Amino acid sequence: MDQLPYIVFGSPIIDGDARAAVDKTLSSAWIGTGPRVHELEEKFALLAGSRFALATSSCTAALHLAMVASGVGPGDEVITTPMTFCATANAIIHTGATPVFVDCQLDTMTIDPAAIAAAITPRTRAILPVHFAGRPAPMDAIEAIARKHSLLVVEDAAHGIECEFKGKKIGSLSPLTCFSFYATKNMTTAEGGMITTNDEELARKIKIWGLHGMSADAWTRFSDQGYRHYDVIFPGFKYNLTDLAASVGLTQLPKLGHWLARRERIWARYQEALAGLPLSLPAPPAADTVHARHLYTVLVRDDARVSRDELMTRMHRRGIGTGVHYRALHVEPYYRERWGFRPEQFPNAFAIGEHTVSLPLTPKLSDAEVERIIAALNEILG
């Protein structure tokens, strides 16, 4: 049996800085939502080029809050892609609105603007693009459609902290952009998220909806400024991030650029080393964009010796964890049954979902580990 340690898919770097920051927060008077969260919000807004950044307990919470704060509700339709994680569509459904899937493009795996335009009805309220795998969605085309039909744009940037589109940071473009700090994401606080916006009124609403509908947060109530009363003005949710989590995130923000460079090198090595195998490799990023290199996803072609699932089993036996991002949402039982979708309705998303596998891509991987992954793929597929 292989004596080498298992390569855990999506394993994050947790270094001495993160450990020291958690220790310091634990030793302070405050571990809940307080000064570290506020500091993370300020620094994240600077990074994203947005006026406001509001921390949340997850990107799922961020997406739900974005929908609620902008008044999306029953009777509304929100257009999104089936090539995403279920949280994207569930955030729409939780408001009582209807998720309207449109297909993605086969090469970029991001939402197809022509399909968005074709799906607009008088009930359409918003478009929810996903920066899939870290590749920016075609925001110029999406913005043009939104402007023409007066639609809201909410971006799912769970994969896209480092993304840029035509010289602009993702997070600065749309009314609302949602980020994830989940354990496998490019920046992680174990669980956590962020919403960016340039709209002061939306920022205020998100803050209140995200903390019980209360007009002042706990730090404002209990800090050394003295106790202050609050009013409950909405029936809100509890979606706040903790200082404990934020203190980890604060140590990672300055390292994201360095980590992205490492991700880019691993990506380039895969592209070169896997070119001869029966795999469809990811398209190069479009000019004028920064790809966040969150996932390296390949399609196992039909002429390969093994299926996608068999490939994953054999990689696992060699001590290498892989992932599937994603089986198309419209074929998952809930969406298929409740919303009546058929697999062939979105052929690109369906084909990707049946053939895709994600290889490990984190800055934590050593060169030797990357070569081990390549050698395993050569053995299985070559």
Residues that bind ligand PLP (CB under 6 A): 58-60, 84-85, 87-88, 130, 156, 158-159, 180, 182, 193
Burial class (CB in 10 A: 0-12, 13-18, 19+), 180: buried
Sequence-distant (6+) residues with CB within 8 A of 339 are 98, 99, 330
Question: Measured between alpha carbons, how far is 155 from 174 in angstroms, rounded to an integer?
Answer: 7
Let me know: does 300 contact 357? Beta carbons within 8 Å.
Answer: yes
The one catalytic residue among 24, 166, 185, 255? 185
Output the six-digit token pair for 20: 């020291």
Q: How far is the CB of 85 from ligand PLP (least distance, A)?
A: 4
- Cα–Cα distances (Å) from 238 to 56, 57, 62, 138, 298, in that order, read 9, 8, 11, 33, 38
With CA atoms as reference, report the closest residue to 302 among 354, 237, 225, 368.
Answer: 354
Quick one: 210 or 319, whose CB is closer to ligand PLP?
210
d(CA 201, CA 336): 37
Kindly state the smallest distance separating residue 303's Cβ from ligand PLP, in Å.
30
Report the alpha-carbon distance of residue 73 to residue 71 in Å, rounded. 6
Residue 48 in contact with residue 275, Cβ under 8 Å?
Answer: no
Q: Which is nearer to ligand PLP, 182 or 270 (CB)?
A: 182
Nearer to ligand PLP, 18 or 178 (CB): 178
3-state DSSP assignment of residue 362: coil
Q: Minimum CB separation from ligand PLP for residue 280, in Å?
A: 21
Is residue 185 among the annotated active site residues?
yes
Indicate the burial class of 2 (C-beta count within 10 angstroms; 0-12, 13-18, 19 or more). exposed
Q: How far is the CB of 72 from ligand PLP (least distance, A)?
A: 17
176 or 380, CB closer to ligand PLP?
Answer: 176
Q: What angle in degrees, to the nearest 10, is found between the helix axes of 308-317 and 367-381?
A: 130
- Judged by beta carbon, residue 194 or residue 381, the one nearer ligand PLP is 194
CB atoms within 10 A of CB 371: 12
Which residue lies nearer to ligand PLP by CB, 90 or 280? 90
**Smallest distance, ligand PLP to C-beta of residue 56, A:** 8
**Nearer Cβ to ligand PLP, position 182 or 335?**
182
In angstroms, rounded to a whole number, what is the distance separating the alpha carbons of residues 281 and 25?
43
Q: Which two tokens stand for residue 59?
A: 């990107």
Active site positions, annotated? 185
